[in-house]
Amino acid sequence: MRIRPIARDDLDGLQTLAQQAGVGFTSLPDNREFLAGKIESAARAFEERTPVDDRLYFFVLEDDATGELAGCCAIEGQVGREVPFYHYRLGTLAHSSIQLDLHRTVDTLFLSSDHTGDAEVCSLFLRPEFRGEANKHLRNGALLSKARWLFIAQFRDRFPDKVLAEMRGVFDEENRSPFWESLGKHFFPMDFNEADRLTGLGQKSFIGELMPKFPIYTTFMSAEARACIGQVHRHTRPALEMLKKEGLRWEGYIDIFDGGPTVEAYIDDVRAVRTSHVYPVEIARHAAPQSISRWLAATTGINAFRAAWVGRGPDENGTLVLTEEEARRLEVSAGQSVRLLDTKETS
């Protein structure tokens, strides 16, 4: 398996991913015209034909042998510059009565655009048949998640100081969001799927127009909805754990529709950004692997970016020896360089 930039002829494969992603996956709606536009935007970003602050870097996980798309992930260069980027910020209000000698604190939700201008790692999705407990399947999710950090590290000057990731919130067995049922539906004249679809299509102005501008007291919400605040969908837990290991933390911001957490960090503090390094490449017909799935390599060209697992780290001379198969998968030649991450340090 390898990571590569999405190509203009990947539309059918991307739509298949969007159809499997399902409800609540806001950044990957099942809309062919929109997905075609996303692919074109990404292609122009990799070709460096758009402003740095308006770039979407979209990647696919590809089976190198068959060309089949197994998943996807993306990086937004900066959010909120063209389209408003909203969250709820969880806060606390204190109320006291001297006469009754009572003191109470109440959790509140404030509509916020605090993350405007930050980068976002997003759109991570892995098809169900490529997940699982087998080691090779666990590696697929890690490859999708960690390859983005190698890209950011290699092209650090193209990104701002901070990065965030929105996590999908809790849905019940009937695919309903308790958070939405208790809050959002009272302000939007539509069901969750329609609101989610519009947001995924970039039509977000209605959020600021229809949501209350004053703090929302969570005590007026159902107990089931309150329990969803800052919690993730069961399928999202592995992705959240990988982000937490990289150093991203929840700072009290949640999705306005499903209540899922938004985690964040300063880019220079992200472990994979700090600990990955560039090494020259040599190619050997046979090179024994040191360990399984420990070393992740990525190329240093923006439009020809590739990332894949390799079987060993740098030698005592600071050179990375690749097998012919590994070099072909990464599309590198002897004398070129790759960025290498020891994932043991970030797990």
Pick the catalytic residue: 233, 235, 277, 286? 233
Let me know if 233 is a catalytic residue: yes
Query: Are the CB atoms for 72 and 61 separated by under 8 Å?
Result: yes
Query: Are the CB atoms for 295 and 276 separated by under 8 Å?
Result: no
Question: CA 169 to CA 261: how far, in whole Å?
Answer: 7
Neighbour tally for 63: CB within 10 Å: 13
Is the torsion defined by CA of 156, 253, 256, 144 positive or negative?
A: positive
Q: Which residues belong to the active site?
A: 233
